[in-house]
Amino acid sequence: MTTAAKTPRITDVGPPHYEKFLPPIVKKNYGKWKYHEVLAPGLLCHVAESGDKLYSLRVAGPRLTSVQTLRVFAGLADKYSGGYLRYTSRNNIEFLLDNPDNIEPLKAELLQLGFPCGGTKNSISNIVHTQGWIHCHSAATDASGIVKSVMDALCEHFTHHDMPAKLRIALACCLNMCGAVHCSDIAILGVHRLPPKVQKEKVPKVCEVPTLIASCPTGAIRPATTDGKPTVEVVEEQCMFCGNCYTVCPAMPLNDAENDGLSIWVGGKVSNARSAPKFSKLAIPFIPNNPPRWPEVVQAVVNIVDVYAKHAHKYERMGEWIERIGWPRFFELTGIEFTRYHIDDFKHAGLTYARSAQVKY
């Protein structure tokens, strides 16, 4: 498969300059856009000071994409958008058209291929996510399978502007959070629930013991010896299953088929619009893995979406809605059980305790 080595060897070229990939209409109007309108779900129209109009047709991307499908997108771009397209920060694809006559034929062709248009304004956009069982060693769950199952159930909300405000879902398959889900309207987070199984003999061969000990946020890893060689032991009561030790040392595996699963977090946002950015808070501490379609996770997410859609005001993000009605009402309306796990007991935990006598009855 390998072709002849390229000569001379070059490095540090950096990414290609973006200007090479900009459509002529973008180059001409760069920095001179006046306003935009959303003409339909998935269809943006940006109007420049010059009067030029750029139409962006946004379609759902699968994130995991074969080279075959990349070529299909390239072919569609050649046919309809002068060979230009871009991706969004949420793994959607945007075809950039200057001819409005091409919109409907492109949309029809994409739909036929299984790529729906949407994700704009007050819809549910694509889920950003991590690798899961497809490519990660520390995953407590798969990512793509849950994303596919959840978005199958929510697809109508991708293709319609029918939410009170935009709703952003993210999934990370362990606490490492390559997907940094911690500021999402709804976050699906893989969790481990057993301490690492220390492979005592292997530790000194493959790991640096001081680094390993220092990797534990709660100081649960202590030095020990095995056959006169340095190794470690874990104070299990102090472990909160973050997996950081496993990241620095392969002899500390903590994956477990029955005890790994998902947690659901709600009410985070990154935008500064109206209220300040905020973290997502725990809604459901644990749901077991149930591949291939994770019906309990899908049901939990759909329930939260439905309750939010029914009760929130226009422009109110999930977290803003919950802050208005209060957390007790959130648990009441969603029917989600409130447990001891919902109460923080890590650093600065007291900041989240209700420090007033203001209670709703």
Partner 1 sequence: MADASNGNPKTELLDQLEKGPWPSFVKEIKAAAQTNDSAKDLLGQLELSYEQKIGHWKHGGLVGVLGYGGGVIGRYSDIPEQFPKVAHFHTLRVNMPAGWFYTSEALRTIADIWERHGSGITNMHGSTGDIILLGTTTDELEPTFQELCHAGFDLGGSGSAVRTPSACVGMARCEWACYDTMKLCYDLTQNYQDELHRPAFPYKFKFKCAGCPNDCVASIARADLSIIGTWKDDIQVDESEVAKYASSGTDVQKEVCDLCPSKCMKWDGKNLSINNRDCVHCMHCINVMPKALRPGKEKGAVILIGSKAPIMQGALLSSVLIPFVPAAELLDTIKELVTRIWDFWDEYGTNRERIGELIQRVGLPAFLDAIGLDPVPEMVAAPRDNPYIFFQLAKGGAQ
Which one of 130-138, 191-199, 324-332, 351-359 is the stretch in contact with partner 1 (CB under 8 A)?
Answer: 130-138
- For residues 77 and 97, what is the distance between their CA atoms, to the nearest angstrom? 9
Task: Name the one residue in this structure whose structure tokens are 């029955």.
Answer: 258
Closest CB to partner 1 among residues 68, 358: 68
- Judged by CB under 8 A, the number of residues near partner 1 is 119
242 binds partner 1 (CB under 8 A): yes
Preceding amide of 292 cis, omega within 30: yes
Site for partner 1 in 53-92 (CB under 8 A): 54, 56, 60-71, 73-75, 77-78, 83-89, 91
Closest CB to partner 1 among residues 228, 292: 292
Minimum distance, C-beta of residue 91 to partner 1, in the bound complex (Å): 7
DSSP-derived letter for residue 278 is B
246 binds partner 1 (CB under 8 A): yes
Q: Do residues 185 and 123 lie in contact, with contact meaning Cβ atoms separated by under 8 Å?
A: no
Q: How many CB atoms lie within 10 A of CB 327?
A: 17
Minimum distance, C-beta of residue 197 to partner 1, in the bound complex (Å): 13
229 binds partner 1 (CB under 8 A): no
C-alpha of 72 from chain center: 25
271 binds partner 1 (CB under 8 A): yes
Among 97, 139, 220, 305, binds partner 1 (CB under 8 A): 139
Closest CB to partner 1 among residues 6, 360: 6
Site for partner 1 in 309-328 (CB under 8 A): 314-315
215 binds partner 1 (CB under 8 A): yes
Contacts of 57 (CB under 8 A, 6+ apart): 42, 43, 94, 95, 97, 103, 106, 107, 110, 117
Residue 328 parent element (H or E): helix 327-334
Minimum distance, C-beta of residue 287 to partner 1, in the bound complex (Å): 13
Which one of 98-106, 132-140, 231-239, 328-336 is the stretch in contact with partner 1 (CB under 8 A)?
Answer: 132-140
201 binds partner 1 (CB under 8 A): no
Minimum distance, C-beta of residue 337 to partner 1, in the bound complex (Å): 24
Q: Do residues 121 and 56 lie in contact, with contact meaning Cβ atoms separated by under 8 Å?
A: no
Beta bridge partners of 278: 269
The size of the chain, in residues, is 361
Crossing angle for the helix pair 67-80 and 103-113, nearest 10 degrees? 160
Among 149, 231, 263, 334, binds partner 1 (CB under 8 A): 149
Closest CB to partner 1 among residues 190, 231: 190
128 binds partner 1 (CB under 8 A): yes
User: Degrees (nearest 5) of the Cα angle 119, 50, 46?
Assistant: 5
